[in-house]
Amino acid sequence: MTRHPTDHPQFYLTAPAPCPYLEGRQERKVFTHLVGSQAPALNDVLTQGGFRRSQNIAYRPACENCRACISVRIRVADFLWTKSFRRQWKQGEKIIGARLPAAPSAEQYDLFQSYLRARHDNGGMSDMSVLDYAMMVEDTHVETMVIEYRRKGPDSFITGTGEGPLLGVALSDQLSDGLSMVYSFFDPQHMDLGLGTLMILDHVHQAQRLGLPYVYLGYWVNGSSKMAYKARFRPQEQLTPDGWVEVEETP
């Protein structure tokens, strides 16, 4: 069995591959393994340093001639609830997110596939099997949760869970200083509910309730329309060579 050191992690560099966000560019990533008892602490440090988690791997871009990928996080204590966000939050009052262990289900996978077909049909995840999906969810050595979003039922205020079909799913890590949204997807037939925005607002709300200062959104990619939505959530900090800096306006 392969053993990976946890006190002194080793880092590796991937070969160049087509960039999934900016056409005509190549990407490279530096990565390490998140395994063993030190994985949660290492995940904390690396996330604060601009890494993202995928299963038991922490990675960040290491492209030679491009710095378009910028780590972003929401500062939740003074989150700016715009009129649009308030309307969205009120519209979502009939939806509840249930925090569950990091365990996959057939219902999640079906929704995941529907989401990919509608939103990312040619993406790198479009051919993921049910086993691939299961590994994405449960192959973790850190504190990870699945949040399932459904419509509220008459007993939801007691059970903390919703009823009816699954509307959205967020796979998220709880860190010492915040919540990190690893991946989220939703029912594309309910675009009117604004589920993508609602799930981020729910994470802001949950982080405030838990006394955690940040919600990590991953990378904002300068020039990618797929990532433009992240700029809406303020106040926002971006990771720069000088550390985390609040940005007033995204270019």
Q: What CATH number should be reported for the domain holding residue 86?
A: 3.40.630.30
Integer CA distances (angstroms), 204 to 24, 76, 180, 211, 228, in order: 35, 6, 11, 10, 19
Contact 75, 237 (CB under 8 A): yes
Q: Does the residue 4 lie in any domain?
A: no
Q: Does the residue 3 lie in any domain?
A: no
Total Cβ atoms within 10 A of residue 12: 11
Claim to verify: residue 36 and residue 82 sit in the same structural domain: no
Contact 150, 162 (CB under 8 A): yes
Counting beta carbons within 10 angstroms of the beta carbon of residue 17, is it exposed (0 to 12), middle (13 to 18) or buried (19 or more)? exposed
Q: What pLDDT is stored for residue 110 in this prediction?
A: 97
Query: How many domains does the chain divide into?
Result: 2
Residue 177 to residue 214: CA distance in whole angstroms: 6
Claim to verify: residue 55 and residue 83 sit in the same structural domain: no
Q: Does the residue 218 lie in any domain?
A: yes
Claim to verify: residue 136 and residue 18 sit in the same structural domain: no
Q: Does the residue 1 lie in any domain?
A: no
Claim to verify: residue 79 and residue 191 sit in the same structural domain: yes
Q: Look at residues 32, 53, 69 and tell me which one is the last residue of a structural domain.
A: 69
Claim to verify: residue 62 and residue 88 sit in the same structural domain: no
Contact 244, 238 (CB under 8 A): yes
Claim to verify: residue 212 and residue 195 sit in the same structural domain: yes
Q: Taking each helix axis from N to C terminus, what angle separates 106-119 and 130-138, rounded to the nearest 10 degrees? A: 110
> Which residues span the domain enclosing 91?
73-247
Q: Does the residue 46 lie in any domain?
A: yes
Q: Look at residues 43, 69, 95 and tell me which one is the last residue of a structural domain.
A: 69
Give 8's contacts (C-beta < 8 A, 6+ positions apart): none
Q: Which sign, positive or negative, has the C-alpha torsion 151, 157, 216, 4?
A: negative
Q: Look at residues 34, 54, 69 and tell me which one is the last residue of a structural domain.
A: 69
pLDDT tens, residue order, the chain (251 aa): 344 444 678 999 999 999 988 999 999 999 999 999 999 999 999 999 999 999 999 999 999 889 999 999 999 999 999 999 999 999 999 999 999 999 999 999 999 999 998 876 666 677 899 999 999 999 999 999 999 999 999 999 888 999 999 999 999 999 999 999 999 999 999 988 999 999 999 999 999 999 999 999 999 998 888 889 999 999 999 999 999 999 976 54
Q: What pLDDT is stored for residue 251 in this prediction?
A: 46
Of 100, 48, 108, the residue nearest 73 (C-alpha): 48
